[in-house]
Amino acid sequence: MNYNLEKIDAKEYAGDLVFLYGDEGAERSLPLSRKELDVMKSRRDKERHFVMVFDRLPYHLYFVSFNSEKPAAEAQEQLRRSAAEVLGKMKEWRPESAAVTAVGTLPEEVAAFVEGMTLADYSFDRYRSKDVWHLKRLDIDSLFIKPAELEAAQRLWNRIFWCREWVNMPVQDLNAASFADELAAVASDLEGVTCTVMDKRQIESLRMGGLLAVNRGSVDEPRFVVLEYKGSDDKPVALVGKGVMYDTGGLNIKPEDYMTEMKSDMAGAATMASVLFAAADNRLPVHLLVFLPLTDNRPGFNAYAADDILTMYDGTTVEVVNTDAEGRLILADAIAYAVKNYQPRLVIDAATLTGAAVRAIGTFGIAAMQTSADNELSMLKLLGEQVGERIVEFPMWDDYDELLKSEVADLRNCGTVPQAGAITAGKFLAHFATTPYVHLDIAGVAFFSKAQHYYGPGASGFGIRLLYAFLQMHDVLNS
């Protein structure tokens, strides 16, 4: 979608027009006839949040009513969701362009609506033989958004687009090696970004027992990618992303109904890479490192098995209880490597890690845990409400350590009883993070089987806007 800022007169604009309305005090400025105004007011007396379409043949007016008296975060999320509704109605007429203006509306509310339009307009089209309708141009009333703000937002949205593309791609076309190559290519085009790609031989020299074990069943070799963006001389923030390019479950193979959509098990890696690229695009004053262990998890060749005992990068021994708890094994190596070699001030991981997180909170937010990072997680929770990517914090009580104790090794890779699965995964990873640490389990929100609000079916890029907003607060957190 292309964007154009211009002064828009709602009563004179010749084209499909979206009009945002949240304040009765601006009633005189509405581009409605008396009859249309009566219909709108009657509807608004019953509910504040709705979308109405009025014919302006050959064009249409999309009237978006919302409640400006709600808390700012609620009103803005409401507008993002209304944007998806408007786009759905537009598909009936398939216009090439449209415009957005408003009255009695704040600039951040207009920005939220435009963001919702952008996120909702995405679909995964590269394998389709027929063209899919997309809105080609959106004119935005320049009264509400400054050019520099729009350009920065566009760069962020572009990174979300590419994250969704990567996660949606099948493993036949995007395995560990080809994904690493794509990341290196993107990094080479960005000022201040470096990319190091380690192959299997180098991973073996590092003795990353978790990553190597998970890869043993696959014909495709693993990769370990380190991205760095040095936008300041501060101590770095380390982002770690789970990069299981496809997860069969290994020898503990998944049943058929759980195998579908497992191309999305690398969403954590795609998310964290995209956050760094967005930070570099917009020159955020942060020092950022991203660590991405990449492999698929297959049951072939000399696949690792339950009862195996692995030696991880930091020397910890791990008894394998279930080969489908593979994500934490590759993340553990990456976290330990980041801590030992870069001494970050904070480690944050993102991973489609557990079905337990989905069962606990559904597809409506991120399950999060922390150790020694209470302030950072509190900030993430606050920002999550503001950007519409909410977080629910789970406890990390010492009691859960009992569920990971092994009779033959330092740790089990998962508990043996069906209790607190999301939490024990976080506890396992926290063992390897000796710095302040935040764990984000994005299993419920990284990939949707059907459309949800302004996300269509497939990859969402959920978490990128949250972490980007967090990095924008970097100076505040360090002051």
Q: Domain ranges in the chain?
A: 2-142, 156-478
What DSSP designation does 219 have?
S
Catalytic, 381? Answer no
Give the pLDDT score at 477: 62
Give start and end residues of each alpha helix (H) in 260-326.
267-281
**How many other CB atoms are found less than 10 A from the CB of residue 233?**
7
Give the pLDDT score at 24: 73
Secondary structure of residue 462 in the 3-state scheme: coil
44, 56, 70, 254: the catalytic one is: 254
What DSSP designation does 115 have?
H
Give the pLDDT score at 29: 79
What DSSP designation does 319 have?
E
Which residues lie below 8 Å from residue 117, measured CB to CB, with a gap of 6+?
1, 83, 84, 86, 87, 100, 135, 138
DSSP string, 153-185: HHHHHHHHHHHHHHHHS-TTT--HHHHHHHHHH
Token readout for 333 is 């190596």
2-142, CATH topology level:
Leucine Aminopeptidase, subunit E; domain 1 (3.40.220)
156-478 is a CATH 3.40.50.2000 domain: no
CA distance 48 to 215: 53
Catalytic, 80? Answer no
Give the pLDDT score at 270: 98
Residues with pLDDT less than 50, the chain? none
Give the pLDDT score at 479: 52
Give the pLDDT score at 175: 98
Token readout for 392 is 């629910």
Give the pLDDT score at 257: 82
Give the pLDDT score at 478: 63
C-alpha dihedral (86, 92, 94, 98), degrees to nearest 10? -30
80, 200, 328, 465: the catalytic one is: 328
